[in-house]
Amino acid sequence: MTTDHIEINVLTDLSQIAPSDWDACACPEAATGRPIDPFTTHRFLRALEVSGSVGPGTGWQPRHLVAKSGQVFATAPLYAKGHSQGEYIFDHNWAHAYESYGGRYYPKLQLAVPFTPATGRRFLTKPGHETTGMAALTQGAVQLASENDLSSLHITFCTEAEADQGERIGLLKRTTQQFHWLNEGYDSFDAFLAGLSSRKRKNIRKERATANAFGGQIHMLTDDQIEPHHWDAFWHFYQDTGARKWGTPYLTRAFFDEAQQHLRDDMLLVLAERDGRYIAGALNFIGRDTLYGRYWGCTEDHACLHFELCYYRAIDYAIEHGLSRVEAGAQGAHKLARGYLPVQTHSLHWFREEGFTDAVARYLQAERAATEEEIEVLTAYGPFRKVQQEEQQ
């Protein structure tokens, strides 16, 4: 596949490209420290493939794009999807409407990180090639969809800059929301609490006291502190949550073995231990300036322990390590009362059928207005003192 002297290759397996070539596009900043986020690194995406979490039988078939002009200058994690699971930008209604009028919505193309509702670059380019790289990768993905009679292309949890650029080149921009905690230069958890209304401050202190009285201790582990037996415990937590939320867990047990081997430095594992057994856990990924909350599970129910492990310990870690943000994953208005404010998230969409494109464009315009209004209303009901809320807005 070529586009104006740029060669676009489609990879069915990340072993087909050297990790150094991929990461030179995905995380060039990692030469001087952590990547901005670990999710588009070769090691993370390859762990999904090696573990069988994506690939045959999963509905996620790798079709990664690599743009070359003499050498690799842009890449993109792309998948042929046989369903809409594990995406967190919901298009089930679109699929139903498309097929109601005689179309075939699946398979489609998904330019995304599987099972990961975390904002980050999706068009991965070497520095200085951002505009050219995004244009080439978009054209390559659209051409791939058209040549294979696929209904659509979806780029989910892209950056705001990518969303704006994508809209300028003709893609449909969608705005959704998540809840993020923002570090306003706090030097302690108490400093964060000082910015809250009295009632919310007291409630959080009460929740933390209740959670920490569960009868055990909480461990915050990263890098070499994480050992293989910790994943045995966490797998039980993850299976339980996955079965209740999705029917079948997205990640295989082998993924956590890959994580132990290749991803420990990218992870913060928070485990609650009682009577010599781990009874609950939360898994986070560590970016250069953001902590990403990803998975939670438990084998015993204890009041407020979920809030402590997932939200408050994440804030503790972010403050201690000078991170500016905690992204606590998809959905969850209950996060608002715990200091996580609504923020916009972005995606881009392309449809082969022009009439369907027009209908979705009208829907997205109305949805965007509703999302902006909801964010404004939720922020006004947030836990922060009113003066501080006005400053944050």
Q: Are 156 and 13 in contact (CB under 8 A)?
A: no
Which pLDDT belongs to residue 245? Answer: 61
Lowest mean pLDDT segment, chosen from 121-125, 315-319, 378-382: 378-382
- Report the alpha-carbon distance of residue 12 to residue 196 in Å, rounded: 50
What is the model's pTM?
0.94
The residues near 206 (Cβ < 8 Å, ≥ 6 apart) are: none
Whether 125 shows a pLDDT value over 80: the answer reads yes
Spatial separation of the C-alpha atoms in residues 94 and 104, rounded to whole Å: 11
Rounded average pLDDT over 64-76:
97
Two tokens at 308?
Answer: 């402590």
Structure tokens at 132: 């050219």
Position 390 scores a pLDDT of: 44
Residue 159 has pLDDT above 80, yes or no: yes
In tens, the pLDDT along 286-308 reads 999 999 999 999 999 999 999 99
* DSSP-based helix, strand, coil % in the chain, nearest 5: 45, 25, 30
Lowest mean pLDDT among 225-229, 273-277, 296-300: 296-300
pLDDT at 315 exceeding the cut of 50: yes
Q: What is the spatial distance between Cα 243 and Cα 19, in angstroms, rounded to a whole number? A: 33
Give the mean pLDDT of 255-271.
97
88: left (phi over 0), alpha (psi -120 to 50) or beta: left
Kindly state the tokens that stand for 212: 């920490």
Q: Is the pLDDT of residue 2 over 90?
A: no
Q: Please report, for residues 7, 79, 237, 344, the alpha-carbon distance to residue 249 in angstroms, rounded to integers and kept in the order given.
A: 37, 19, 11, 27
- C-beta atoms surrounding 242 within 10 Å: 17
Q: Give the C-alpha separation, 390 to 97, whole Å.
A: 41
Average pLDDT over residues 349-377: 96
Residue 67: pLDDT over 60:
yes
Lowest-confidence segment of 193-202, 308-317, 341-350, 377-386 by average pLDDT: 377-386
Q: Residue 117 pLDDT more than 50?
A: yes
Q: What pLDDT, on the 0 to 100 scale, is given for residue 242?
A: 60
Q: How confident is the model at residue 389 (pLDDT cuts 50, 70, 90)?
A: very low
Q: Which residue has the higher pLDDT, 333 or 369?
A: 369
- Separation CA 156–CA 176 (nearest Å): 10
Tokens of 203: 């409630």
Residue with tokens 């995606």: 347
Token pair of 28, please? 């060039």
248 pLDDT tier (thresholds 50, 70, 90): confident
Torsion, CA 92, CA 97, CA 99, CA 102, rounded to 10: -170
Q: Which residue has better confidence, 248 or 257?
A: 257
- Indicate if the pLDDT at residue 333 is higher than 90: no
Laid out side by side, the sheet with 64-69 consists of 2-3, 6-11, 64-69, 71-76, 124-125
- 223 has pLDDT over 60: yes
pLDDT at 112: 98
CB 173 within 8 A of CB 348: yes
Q: What is the pLDDT of residues 178-204, one digit of tens each?
A: 999 999 999 999 999 999 999 999 999
What is the per-residue DSSP string for 264-324?
GGGEEEEEEEETTEEEEEEEEEE-SSEEEEEEEEESS--TTHHHIIIIIHHHHHHHHTT-S
Q: Which of 302, 136, 327 is nearest to 215 (CA)?
A: 302
The mean pLDDT value for 272-287 works out to 97
Give the per-residue pLDDT at 4. 59
12-66 per-position pLDDT tens digit: 999 999 999 999 999 999 999 999 999 999 999 999 999 999 999 999 999 999 9
User: For the chain, what is the mean pLDDT?
Assistant: 94
C-beta of residue 346 within 8 angstroms of C-beta of residue 163:
yes
Alpha-carbon gap, residue 141 to 89, rounded angstroms: 19
Cα angle for residues 297, 302, 306 (degrees, 5° grid): 45
Least confident of 62-71, 121-130, 326-335, 367-376: 326-335
